[in-house]
Structure formats: C-alpha cells, structure tokens
Amino acid sequence: MTTSPNTVRALREALKFSPDNVPLRQHLAEVLLSMEQYTEAEQEYRQALMFKPGDTILKLGLATVFFQQGKYSPSLVVIEDLLKSADCPAGAYLLHARLLLNAGAIQQAVSQYRYATAIDESIADKDFADRLGISNEVLREQDEVNEIVDGKIRVSIGADTQIPNGNIESPQISFRDVGGMDTVKDEIRLKIIYPLKQPELYRAYGKTIGGGILLYGPPGCGKTYLARATAGEINSSFIAVGINDILDMWLGNSERNLHSIFENARASKPSVLFFDEVDALAANRTDMRQSSSRMVINQFLSELDGVKTSNEGVLILAATNAPWHLDPAFRRPSRFSRILFIPPPDARARVEILLLLCSGKPVSAIDYELISKKTEHFSGADLKAVVDIAVERKLQEAIKIGIPKPLTTKDLLSVASSIKPSTKEWFQSARNYALYANEGGLYDDILKYLKM
C-alpha cells in the first residue's frame, strides 16, 4: 500500500463523487490507520459503518483505531460486539487479547491470543507473545495435522501428547493448621466431609449429596491453604487444578483435559479436587462471547453434575478473588451450591495464625495479642511475611554476632509497621459489587465485614 499524502488526497477526491462507496472509504480508513492518523481514520470508519453497520472488518478497524488512541473502553465495546458475530475475524480475537492484557487479565489474554493464532497463524505477533510470556511455545510438530473444517479446528494428536491429570498431592496439613475460619471449617465438614463419610445417613434424611463449595475473598487469606487442609483433614489425595492445566489453544482439547482431570479424581477417591482461580475458567458465558470458552464451561458444568459418572467420593472446592465474574450457572445446587466468604482474619484468628507461624521458631515471650491489635486488615499471607522477614533479620544479626537470639515482640512489631495490609485494595472493588450487583444477598458477607 502506498501511503503518501497524495494517496489520501486522491481517495478523498474520489469519495466526493461517490460518498457511499464503502470499499473505497474503507481503503481510505486503512491508509489513514497505517499512517497513524487515528482521528481521521476513526472518522472514516464511522462514516463507512453508517452505510454498512454490520460489517465485521469495518468494526475491527474502528476498534483498532480506538485502541491505538488509548480509548480502551470503546474499543472493548466494539470488540465484544464483534465477538458475538458468526464471521468474527481472527484479528478481533487478537485485539481482544491486547485489551485483556491491558486490563491485567493475563490468562484470558493468553487464551484469546492462542485462539486467534489457531484460527489464523499468520497474525501471530512475536512481541505480543513475548509480553504474554508464551513466546517459547513454538507451534506444534509437523506430524500433527491441523485443519480448519467448518470454522472449527480439527486436531490430530501426536502420540506423545500429554493429557494432564492435575498434580496429586497428599497434604500434611489439616484444619488444625489453619487459624480462625471456624464457621467455614464447619460448613466444609457439614456440606462435604460428613456426606462423604456417612452417605447412608444423609440419604436417610433425604439430603442430596454432591455439589462443591466455592471460597472467595481477598488474596492471601487462606483459600488455597484451607482447601489443601481439607484434604489433609480426611487423609485424601488433593488435586489442584490451575487454568493452565486445562486451557489449550486447540479446540476440543480443553474439554478433554477437564474431563481427564475429573476422571482422575474419581479414580483416586476419596479426593479433594480443587480449582484455583476458577473465575478464569468459568467466567460468565455472556462475558466470554467466544464459543470455545463456552464449550469449556459447558463441559465443566456437566462434569460437576456428574452426568456420565458419579462424583461420589470427590470433594469439589474452588477459589476465586472475583466471584462476580463466575457464570451464574455454577451456583446451582449440585454445582457450587455454597459460596463462602473468606475474610481477612479477625483479631483472634490473627493470634492463632501468628502462633502457628511462630511455632517451632526460637521466640521469647511474645505478646501475640498486641501484634494482632497492630495488624488489622492483614491477610494470613501478610502475617507470614511479617514473621518471615523478622526471622530473616534475626538470622543476619546472629550471623554477625555469632550468637542466636530469640524473636521478640518488638522485632515483629517493627516489621509489621513497615508492611501495608494487602487486603484493602480488594475491598475497594468488592464493595461495588456488593452494593450494586448483590443478587439474592450473595455478597451480604462483604457488606457485613465492611459494616455497611
């Protein structure tokens, strides 16, 4: 494409005589875009769209122009609209990936980028892949035949393709190692541990067995830790599943991965199957207007329902920082029927956590109550950082003077005062969801915590 001001002038001249010539206007818009004249390009795209409002290429052009000007929100609106259309161009997925990355949703950006390049290899962008941290993923071996049939990618899998099982662990921690959270522990016992141990009793009372528990709350407050402790509590295996274990750029593979993880959990029962950051996997189907993720969600739902094979003996737990992004279909009974808020530890729980963290370490008489008082809003992870840093300082001191000295209240307080609690930021956004998207009082616990 020759991109000189002369070209632009000539195109504008021609358009004067046939203003409704959409291909011509589109060409002008593209020229302007390539010359980085974004405002003018935007104008031409808008004009062209007035004549041909449904045109996907024009919409993608407009979204691109918005993006280039840093108008991310309108760009996202256009892209989301575009993703709904049957003939959505691959470039739209790529731009969506850029927008997602921009918004900090890295995993989703990765999956959108993979999808884009799976539809159209030629739009692969090495720099962008670098930023996503997936530039080393070279395209698969030649011996795999991938073809696009009816808009779907058909994959023939090489013999050495690994099917993930999730990583099976046997956790050494139990509920005793988790400070506070008494009500949550009780819920877990009542809802999933007892039914596992005494299924007849539950049936006799006409209670249905099954369904998982979703834990949500600010980061670092023990969701993952508690899930692991649940497995330790009943001496079962623990299978932690992250989004990377499941999502795969090849159409159909993600569903297969998910199925094989559930099958593995059923085969090693009793087991705790734990989905960490489940919102990335089970994001609202209307948010993710992309058919492939819808298929993963549907697969997930039917695995949870135990449609083909029973989930008896498999305790299902999931955790998220953003429950509001979860597809509401997951909240039905037999799926994640209990949604439990895991708040930052209260004063008593902080004492318990500090005691747990300091046990086995050389300490002098420590005033745990006082430290607890000075660490309001601290998460369990924050408290762990306080203890870790204090221990490290002590160690350095000991190396210097050659005599080990016990940890003191003062040591811990001095570290605590230098650390900012990490939970506050989460509450800033959670508060809005609790106020304005609190269907059925789902987030009442957040409001209660905030004393609102």
Ligand X SMILES: Nc1ncnc2c1ncn2[C@@H]1O[C@H](COP(=O)(O)OP(=O)(O)OP(=O)(O)O)[C@@H](O)[C@H]1O
* Binding residues vs ligand X (CB under 6 A): 178-181, 219-225, 319, 321, 345, 353, 356, 380-381, 384
3-class secondary structure, 149: strand
Closest CA to 364 of 394, 408, 415: 408
Closest to Mg ion by CB, 106 vs 157, is 106
* Closest chain position to ligand X (CB): 380
Specify the residue, 92 or 434, whose C-beta has the smaller distance to ligand X: 434
Closest to ligand X by CB, 185 or 335: 185
DSSP letter at 307 equals S
- 165 belongs to the binding site for Mg ion (CB under 5 A): no
Closest-by-Cβ residue to Mg ion is 224
Residue 103 has φ and ψ, to the nearest 5°, of -90, 5
DSSP string, 195-237: HHH-HHHHHHTTPPP--EEEEE-STTSSHHHHHHHHHHHTT-E
List the structure tokens of 391: 């221990």
Name the minimum Å distance from CB 344 to ligand X: 9
Say which entry of ligand X, Mg ion, none residue 321 contacts (CB below 5 to 8 A, set by partner kind).
ligand X
Total residues found in the chain within this entry: 452
Q: Tokens representing 25?
A: 């206007």
Residue type, position 325, single letter: H
Pairing of strands 336-341, 314-320: unpaired
Evaluated on CA atoms 219, 224, 227, 233, the torsion sign reads negative
Q: Which stretch binds Mg ion (CB under 5 A): 168-176, 218-226, 331-339, 355-363?
A: 218-226
The one of Mg ion, ligand X, none whose footprint includes residue 356, by CB under 5 to 8 A per kind, is ligand X
In the list ligand X, Mg ion, none, the entry touching 229 (Cβ below 5 to 8 angstroms by class) is none
Q: Report the residue number, 128 or 216, with the smaller CB distance to ligand X.
A: 216
CB of 326 to ligand X, least distance (A): 14
319 with 224: CB under 8 angstroms? yes
447's contact among ligand X, Mg ion, none, with CB below 5 to 8 A by partner kind, is none
Contact 201, 190 (CB under 8 A): no
Query: Which among 81-89, 137-145, 194-202, 223-231 is the span making contact with Mg ion, rule CB under 5 A?
Result: 223-231
Nearer Cβ to ligand X (124/381): 381
Torsion on CA atoms 280, 286, 291, 294, rounded to nearest 10? 50
Cβ atoms < 10 Å from Cβ of 121:
11
Is-contact 119 90, C-beta < 8 A? yes
Q: Which residue, 223 or 335, has its beta carbon nearer to Mg ion?
A: 223
CB of 326 to Mg ion, least distance (A): 15
User: Which span (220-228, 235-243, 351-359, 387-395) binds Mg ion, by CB under 5 A?
Assistant: 220-228
Residue 21 or 321 having the CB closest to ligand X: 321
The closest of 421, 391, 385, 396 to 408, measured between CA atoms, is 391
| 220: partner contacted, choices ligand X, Mg ion, none (Cβ within 5-8 A by kind) | ligand X
Residue 219 binding result from ligand X, Mg ion, none, given CB thresholds of 5 to 8 Å by partner type = ligand X
399 backbone dihedrals φ, ψ, rounded to 5°: -65, -40
E strands, 200-354, are 212-216, 237-241, 271-275, 314-320, 336-341
If the CB atoms of residues 219 and 313 are measured against Mg ion, the closer one turns out to be: 219
Q: Which residues between 345 and 404 bind Mg ion (CB under 5 A)?
A: none
Is residue 224 a contact point for Mg ion (CB under 5 A)? yes
Residue 384 interacts with, from Mg ion, ligand X, none (CB under 5-8 Å by kind): ligand X
Handedness of CA 350, 320, 164, 122 (dihedral sign): negative
- With respect to Mg ion, which residue has the nearer C-beta, 24 or 243? 243
Least distance CB 420 / ligand X (angstroms): 16
Residue 95 binds what, of Mg ion, ligand X, none (CB under 5 to 8 Å, by partner type)? none
Q: Where along the sequence are the contacts to Mg ion (CB under 5 A)? A: 223-224
